[in-house]
Amino acid sequence: MFSALVVGTLLAVPALSAATPAGSASAANPAMASATPSTPRPTVVLVHGAFADSSSWDGVISRLERRGYPVIGVANPLRGLADDSAYVSSVLDTIPGPVILVGHSYGGAVITDAAVDHPNVKALVYVAAFAPDEGESGLAILGKYPGSMLPPALTVRPFPGGQDAYVSPGDFRQVFAADVPAGEARLMAAGQRPVALAAFGEPSSAPAWKTIPSWFLVAGADRAIPPAAEQAMARRAGSRTSVIRGASHAVLVSHPDATAHLIEAAARATS
């Protein structure tokens, strides 16, 4: 059972290819020609979660860009679910053409709300993420599936108008990034983005996964969101699911190939 302090803390918690003349550079270089996609790629929009920033997607971004996908790593404000979802929704408003919307961790709750009423969002991809139902919060999900090491690892710092939660540096690798090299995990801990304490307790609105196809990458050794919770949310959403045994919550950092592959699978299936 969470102590009052822990519960209070967690409450926070392509381009188009064209016919090429025979004498052009692309015709002379078949490898260059084959690298150009024959149809427009959807834009991949990546939404990071709490205790991270968009640089956590760097390995995934480099792989997707090499495959011809335009990518946007959104700077998730981490101020509250309604506000963060509205911000991501405003970004989606500016993107012409199809979108594959991807969320990690708390970012999964954000994309669940942000994608509603965006017909250009063709797929949702959850990466070791929350995928809440209407009226459900991240806190409620963790309450149903015990085993998270996150609540006691949080450090709280006040800011004008509220409180922020960080993962304590000494606990960061064990809780968040156990399969990431120690030096890299230290950098992630030092540069982590805090989340407003109320964010994890804020209930979700009507979930986009009820109307948009979804994919789910389950981190098999996640110590922040229990793997059993991820599996249950994936089943409920009818997601096509991939499990990486031994992967930490930072699976997008430790397994960028598998993460990019799942995103590309979603893009191909919905193109």
Provide mean pLDDT across the span 108-132. 98
* pLDDT score for 142: 96
Q: 43: part of which helix (H) or strand (E)? A: strand 43-47
Q: Are 254 and 56 in contact (CB under 8 A)?
A: no
**Cα pseudo-dihedral 132, 138, 142, 147, rounded to 10:** 110
Predicted pLDDT at 38: 57
Query: What's the pLDDT at 37?
Result: 46
Residue of 111, 58, 107 lying closest to 89 (CA atoms): 111
Residue 32 has pLDDT above 80, yes or no: no
Give dist(CA 163, CA 68) in Å, integer: 41
Strand partners, 154: 167
Distance CA 127, CA 102 (A): 7
Read off the pLDDT of residues 169-192 as tens digits, 9 standing for 90 and up: 999 999 999 999 999 999 999 999
DSSP-derived 3-state class of residue 216: strand
**The model's pTM:** 0.86
* Residue 2 pLDDT greater than 60, yes or no: no
The pLDDT tens digits for 43-91 are 999 999 999 999 999 999 999 999 999 999 999 999 999 999 999 999 9
